[in-house]
Amino acid sequence: MATFPSITPTYGLQKSSSPVVRKVQFGDGYEARLTYGINQNPKLFSLTFEVSETDADTIETFLDARAADNASFDFTPPGEDSASKFVCEEWSKSIPYLNRATIQTTFRQVFEP
């Protein structure tokens, strides 16, 4: 299992939750809700890394390798106590200044053994 490099994202990350809930609506206006599955509240993190080009290359190489083998990786989000498993299916890189780069990523939490 790969672990994301110890490079800290820039402050201002965004964390989203989308619980998996099944709903049944009845004709009289009532609604029944049921959580679905054991791990029913996965998280989605939008992270920005404003780093040197060397660190940006490290991040990009790591993400390219995960894309090649379709594997998840361990990552401890800022403010969280423990690592979770994530996949990154999309990221972008820009180079605004000499020897500086910005990588924008979206990490989606997955549940695997």
- What tokens were used for 67? 């894309």
pLDDT surpasses 80 at 108: yes
**Higher per-residue confidence, 107 vs 40:** 107
Beta strands 31-35; 2-3: pairing state? unpaired
| Cβ-Cβ contacts under 8 Å for 65 (sequence gap 6 or more) | 2
Task: Please tell me the distance from the alpha carbon of residue 31 to that of residue 25, in angstroms, as a whole number.
Answer: 4
pLDDT surpasses 90 at 29: no
What 3-state class would DSSP assign to 36?
coil
Nearest by Cα to 7 from 51, 44, 40: 51
Tokens 């890189």 sit on residue:
93
Q: List residues bridging with 101 in a β-sheet.
A: 51
Domains of the chain: 2-109 (2.40.30)
- Please tell me the predicted confidence (pLDDT) of residue 18: 85
pLDDT band at 66 (very low <50, low <70, confident <90, very high): very high
- What tokens were used for 103? 């990588």
How many beta carbons lie within 10 A of that of residue 8, not counting itself? 10
pLDDT surpasses 90 at 20: no
pTM: 0.85
Task: Provide mean pLDDT across the span 27-46.
Answer: 88
